[in-house]
Amino acid sequence: MVVFFCCYSCFHSNSFAEMIKRKQVEPTGQVVWDVATKKKMIALTFDDGPSPTYTPQVLALLKEYNAHATFFQVGDKMERFPYIVRQVVQGGHELGNHSMTHPYENKAGLERMRLEISQADRIIQKYQPNRTKWFRPPGGYIDNALLQEAVKQGYKVVLWSYHQELKDWSMPGAQVMANHVIRNARNGDIILLHDGGGNRSQTIQALKIILPALKQKGYQFVSVSELMESKE
């Protein structure tokens, strides 16, 4: 059977037979969707950067709200925009591995993904040595073989809270996205956003609404590593 996935949102449609099963892998601690915590903490994650247009805007907003985040960056873009990567790290944020060129595993295959992870890892280690290694598979495509490969390379896999699925890349409107996040916010959420890979102006506008609203509700914005430290 050939199954075509157009986007991230297809990941949890369960139509891809080989996909990892949350119930099976979550207890191993190798894959994180969200975190059980009593602390009012939320992890914002930004994929597909660095972008010279949008990443600095995200960083300025995060700074304004004393927020830390995790940036799942693409290796070849890190090579093109090293000064943006440095800004991310200097802002106290965390880098995650989002492969070297952003291929989807269901098309690229395991051998290619092995290289994609290790090549991006070499770049990340230059900026951020000796930290927890987080991998987010492009498009959310991950089967057990890729999971084991990521683990072999010292990584844990981070997906995202499904109840906070925004599809910001489809540009549904900044207010729509902000309302969704604010209404559904729970302790330990991991929220998937994008600071690269296309027009992210709505994501920026949504952040301008989300950050003050959730701060007012008492939430603190932290990196995935910081969120994991608060795990019950």
**105 touches Zn ion by CB under 5 A:** no
User: Least distance from C-beta 40 to Zn ion, angstroms?
Assistant: 28
Report, in this order, helix, strand and coil percent for the chain, each rounded to 5.
50, 15, 40
68, 93, 180, 194: which is the annotated catalytic residue?
194
The DSSP bridge pattern shows strands 133-135 and 41-47 to be: unpaired
The pairing of strands 70-73 and 220-222 is unpaired
**What is the helix (H) or strand (E) element at residue 191, kind and residue range?**
strand 190-194
68 as an active site residue: the answer is no
Cα 207 to Cα 58: distance, rounded to the nearest angstrom: 8
User: Which residues, numbered 29-68, are part of the site for Zn ion (CB under 5 A)?
Assistant: 47-48
Nearer to Zn ion, 48 or 168 (CB): 48
Compare residues 71 and 219 and give the one whose CB is closer to Zn ion.
71
Tokens 């950067």 belong to residue: 49
Interaction with Zn ion in 129-158: which residues (CB under 5 A)? 138
CA atoms within 13 A on the CB side of 135: 29
Residue found under tokens 């969200």: 34
What tokens appear for 216 in the block?
A: 């007012």
Q: Which CB sits closer to Zn ion, 47 or 195?
A: 47
Q: Which is nearer to Zn ion, 47 or 149 (CB)?
A: 47
Question: Which residues 61-100 are close enough to bind Zn ion by CB under 5 A?
Answer: none
Query: Which residues lie across from 117 on neighbouring strands?
Result: none
From the list 47, 121, 168, 195, the catalytic residue is 47
Smallest distance, Zn ion to C-beta of residue 138, A? 5
Q: How far is the CB of 10 from Zn ion (least distance, A)?
A: 13
The verdict on whether 98 is a catalytic residue reads: no
Compute the least distance from the CB of residue 20 to Zn ion, in Å.
Answer: 17
> Which residue type is seen at 208?
K
Write out the catalytic residue numbers.
47, 194
Residues interacting with Zn ion, by CB under 5 A? Answer: 47-48, 138
